[in-house]
Amino acid sequence: MRCVEIKVNSMSQLTDINTLPALPTTPLALFIALCSGKLIPHSLWQSPKFRRKYLLRGLLLPVPTYTLLTMLTRHPHYEQLLSSQPRLPCRNHRPYLTNRLGRQAGARAVILHYQHITERLGVTLFAQHLGGAGLCLAQIAAKDEQRYVMSLISTHTLDREGEASIILRDAAGQLLCELTFTLCQHHGQLTLMIGGLQGPNNPDAQQIVQQATKTLYGLFPKRVVFEALLQVSKWLDVKAICAVSNATHVYRSLRYGSRKKLMHADYNDFWEMLGGTATAEGYYSLPAAIPRKEMEEIASKKRSEYRKRYALLDQLEQDIRQVLPRPLSTHVNA
């Protein structure tokens, strides 16, 4: 499968430096280089104020900061990872993933995520998912010759909500849906935690989604992205899929009070529509598969569209299997 090339502007990797200078090889050396301005992986680090805050918070949170920097300096894609995720060294300095995750737990989640996904993707695919366009998972052929591209990408513009995102765009590059997640240990098992789910943030967003839904045979873009996530979760061999609720989204943190307006999705309604169940912790436990209706249950005049809908989802699954060729697990427990 070869994906069409699309223009990506709003979600491009905003890395200002193509090649970084010689990188420090130890956590302490990296910390000093970032604080002093000797290493500038992104324009964010050009700000003395940003670097001073990093220095102060690093001194106040030495253990999780050192732990993250250790992972980063030892990572086989050290340079590219730092360029595509320039706030990774200070990930544990701010609320992350949910508004209930502690600093140490957040650092452990980030480390586990990159260990697991690096091992699964391998050198070539991991590098692609860090690139500006991401790793193309599927090219979707829809009604009226419309085409959509599904990608797995790691972008710092969504780094508060997680480390990796599955993004659906049309052939012109228009964003339709982005779902962001991090792999972590939750209740002693490998869990895919969804920290963000958003659609287009345009004045005509509703019309864009409605038109896409029509050409996707009645499937909402969010539903198509979630179906892709289910295939990725099987490939990652996670044991549970969880998601933040309206109340536990990271933007509900006091620190991000001004960012609440960026939440355009009703998380609770969507998770419940998929069959998710609320947990005592304020999250949602999501199913490993979404049941399909039997054709006998569907009105005869709608059966043709449902067949095309299910054929689209079957092709999506097949395309993702081709890109992620390792055997898919069949025992993801929701």
Looking at residue 11, its pLDDT comes to 40
Going from N- to C-terminal start, the domains of the chain cover 22-82, 123-323
Neighbours of 184 (CB within 10 A): 25
Q: What is the mean pLDDT of residues 66-77?
A: 96
- The overall average pLDDT reported for the chain is 90
Asked which of 5-14, 208-217, 246-255, 308-317 is least confident by mean pLDDT, the reply is: 5-14
Give residue-wise pLDDT tens across range 245-293: 999 999 998 866 655 555 567 999 999 999 999 999 999 999 999 999 8
Task: Sheet with 189-198: list strands edge to edge.
Answer: 135-141, 147-153, 164-170, 175-186, 189-198, 240-244, 283-286, 277-278
